[in-house]
Structure 1
Amino acid sequence: MGRHYFGTDGIRGRANGKVLNAATAMKVGQAAGRHFLRGSHKHRVVIGKDTRLSGYMMETALVAGFTSVGMDVIMTGPLPTPAVALLTREMRADLGVMISASHNPYADNGIKLFGPDGFKLSDADEEAIEAAMLVEQELAQADAIGRARRIEDSRGRYIHAIKQSLPSDTRLDGLKIVVDCANGAAYTVAPTVVWELGAEVIAMGVSPDGLNINDGVGSTSLDAIRARVLEEGADIGIALDGDADRLIVIDEKGQVVDGDQIMALIGLRLAASGELRGGGVVATVMSNLGLERLLNDAGLNLVRTKVGDRYVLEAMRAGGYNVGGEQSGHMILLDHATTGDGCIAALQVLAALVHTGKRASELLHLFDPVPQLLKNVTYSGGDPLADAQVRSVIADAEARLSGRGRLVIRKSGTEPKIRVMAEGDDAGEVEQVVDEICAAVKAAA
């Protein structure tokens, strides 16, 4: 069946809009709760959220839904997405829920679901829950209605867990680090863990008011942290997004370090120590060709997936890989977490800084990115990519770039847009190829 609610990363939309509102959240709670009522034990769900104003409404509606079908609820308050995944598994919950729209502005929100193993739900589970949302669910008898409670030690549990991702003798003493939490879910835990490991911390984006999440701060708004790193003479800057599953780094010169460079660093270091599994790294089709060439030169492979961290994770689990991620900053390190975790990835980068004694600008620029250009073309209907002329132009572009570049053309999963990306050693040729394809798509749209 066609999906009305679930996308590539749970349910997301405008808070109080047609798709995402209190009624939807209650339906999710009832449908997901019934779906995971398996066995005779007392069932429980862990619910976390970021700092959006609408999180209060969504949390309350979800609690009502879950308790109405007989599930107990444990609320954590504001906490990173990977922390919710961790607590779901550690507390032997049947289900975990994160209320967040990640890097989107405050007016949006979303619902992400995790199974008892701490991994995001399978397509089959999401489809079953979506189907159940369309019908009335059986409610619990009065004596079996669930209870709800808020726990106070969730942040401490998560801080302890991510510190365990480093060797016990690794300290960050002597480093000055700017930590930008995007006024989001990690506004307490990220500065705390870095400070506890010995660093001098300059915290920013740590004053959430419900409306300022991702607003001029965080991994998608880097001007503020770049300026702060230079102003403070810091060794490095760490920028997280609203739910802290994404990481972008700023070196001491103010240069941006994206997910491709971070994956390169972590992958090569683990390979050198014999800890890299799968013989390479998993990334999406958007990762730069420079990363692929670097890994190939080191005898490692780069497995590419569709855009979306869930597809990266699926490929990692299927192929036995322990390092994967996206150019945008999602870092999945399966030795330490079941989903993308910006804080854990940041600690791996900081540990490398300490162990090598290098400056961030030396350590984190392991390859020169190949010129890459992405443009979007809006279309009103039909399938422009099926047009004969469009296919001919694309085939010609692929032949021109063969051996010297790549072409990635895909439909957006959320908007009526065709995304055209090309990369190659010749920036002028890349631009020409993208413009020619965009023109052909517009003519056919």
Structure 2
Amino acid sequence: MTIFAQRRSRFFAELGGAAAVIPAAPMVVHHADCEYPFRQNSDFWYLTGFDEPGAVALFLPHRDDVRFVLFVEPKEPTAEVWNGFRWGCQGAVAEFGADMAHPLAELPQRLAEYLKGAEGIAFRVGRHPSVEPLVLQAWGEQLDRAPRSGSAALGLVAPCPLLHGLRLRKGPEELERLREAARISAEAHELARQVTRPGLSERQVQAVIEQHFLEQGARGPAYGSIVAGGDNACVLHYTANGSTLRDGDLVLIDAGCSLSDYYNGDITRTFPVGGRFSAEQRALYELVLAAQEAAVASVAPGFTAEGVHGTALRVLVAGLVDLGLLVGDVDGLIEQGAYRHLYMHRTGHWLGLDVHDVGAYRLGEHHVELEAGMVLTVEPGLYVSDRLPVPEGQPAIDGRWKGIGIRIEDDVAVTDRGHENLTAAALKTTSAMER
């Protein structure tokens, strides 16, 4: 709990005289009266470590006595018989460091009093329909009293820029958890490549991956695992995983685990189902690998995520010109976006408690510079199909290239002197992909 207390202290400093209201995630209905497995709101978890649904946390830097308050579901034997253990109010104080805890049902009558005296209220509008009316009511009451009392919260602001700036820079304990998620995820990819053979279904390979996640103590997959054979790999978010893997095709696997405390791995590897690349597959694979390795090598303090993308993009476009899949000057092709029928996404994203983690990539006209503690994925790819039209002036795609989809993705932490590839244990050389 010391770690969460330190995070709250940093958050208090960012809030200044404003109070923040951060709700937990609710349970979400899957169908009828069955619910999805619970997944805590990442902002709430980052500040509290409290893993129960429906709770509400108040952060009150304007007060000297009670600064961290939790509203939680109380201990109740009948509810616990059906849905499991609850910490209750006493546990929220004793185990999670709250200065005060109340039953959730008391939030409507207590919220306004706790917010009194704050210079502003930090609350994310539009996301928490059960809590939002209570926050707006409390704020409205302050505004109504302002002519008499002489004080009121000056505005309702989003806590996201403050909190997400903190989450973008990972502490040592977070990096350790991301290394663990990367380890488990990399092992699963190695297992998947060992078992893959023609005739297996994509779902059978998915089962091997996700079984390893669970056996290693992870909650399960961090996102819908992608096991995409052949032309399915040209669908970026393909998750049906229902086709049979065929000799002569490549299979693209994008999968990572989520740990018990929600830190995630995110790895993509692509390899031949039958163990050998065709000439066209090899040429495109080596091109994507060269782009990915150049982009990973560029990760360092002072560079930018945009620069990492640009590094990969330039290698890809130059290689596509050499292969005859594009024609023209590399700079011109990049400026025109004439490559986007073959490479239509960015080269990576922040990684942490969310797979596509929070944090700005640019502030106005300026791209955010990489700093030690930031973690991002590096994942260039090429996808050759008829789904997108070939831009005017570019060559028609010969059939021998079609149906080849390749992506290579690693999780990379920025260090003081450069970077650390957290997922290096998942092999990716051309020779390692063959057997």
TM-score (norm 1): 0.28
TM-score (norm 2): 0.29
Q: Which structure: greater strand fraction?
A: 1
Q: Which has the larger radius of gyration?
A: 2
